[in-house]
């Protein structure tokens, strides 16, 4: 499987001992179908992995959208926000057919990882 795009998110809340990692990888397989791999769990642990594949990017876009929406609801569920920690894409790869840009923009990069609250310098 060829990895074309990797997004990683982390959520930290020291008082609640929440230290979570969530990763989305987009790629193509040997048959040129689209693939999405989702890895998640506690930071530093093995975690879980789910794989999805489809010849049509729209089906996987719906999965990615659903998973990103779930990450955005983290403050209500676990008391802290996920922040984007890694954005890595292959040269000349256009992620727009798969990646919902409107949701990605909602992950605030100004979160202080040790507190889980917005950080204002």
Residue extents of the structural domains in the chain: 2-105
Q: Can you say whether the dihedral through the CA atoms of 4, 110, 62, 41 is positive or negative? A: positive
State the pTM of this model: 0.81
Lowest-pLDDT range of 9-13, 21-25, 109-113: 109-113
Average confidence score pLDDT of the chain: 84
Q: Render 39-106 in DSSP notation, one character per residue.
A: EEEETTS--EEEEEEESSHHHHHHHHHHHHHHHHTHHHHHSS-EEEEEEEE-TT---TTT--HHHHTT
Report residue 110 CA to chain centroid gap: 17
Examine the pLDDT at 35 and tell me if it is beyond 60.
Answer: yes
Greater model confidence, 117 or 120: 117
Examine the pLDDT at 121 and tell me if it is beyond 50.
Answer: no
Examine the pLDDT at 113 and tell me if it is beyond 80.
Answer: no
* Short-list 65, 61, 62, 73, CA closest to 11: 73
DSSP state of 121: -
Q: What is the per-residue pLDDT for 70? A: 92
Greater model confidence, 100 or 93: 93
Parallel/antiparallel/unpaired status of strands 117-118 and 34-42 = unpaired
The pLDDT of 17-25, averaged and rounded, is 92
Q: Can you say whether the dihedral through the CA atoms of 116, 66, 90, 48 is positive or negative? A: positive
Q: What is the per-residue pLDDT for 117? A: 41
């Amino acid at each position: 499987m060829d990895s074309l795009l990797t997004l990683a998110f982390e959520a930290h809340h020291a008082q609640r001992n929440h230290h979570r990692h969530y990763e989305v990888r987009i790629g193509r397989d040997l048959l040129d179908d689209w693939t999405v791999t989702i890895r998640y769990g506690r930071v530093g642990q093995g975690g879980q992995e789910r794989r999805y594949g489809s010849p049509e990017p729209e089906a996987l876009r719906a999965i990615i959208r659903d998973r990103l929406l779930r990450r955005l609801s983290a403050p209500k569920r676990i008391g802290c926000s996920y922040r984007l920690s890694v954005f890595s894409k292959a040269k000349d790869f256009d992620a727009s057919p798969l990646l919902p840009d409107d949701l990605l923009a909602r992950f605030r990069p100004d979160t202080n990882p040790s507190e889980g609250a917005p950080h204002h310098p």
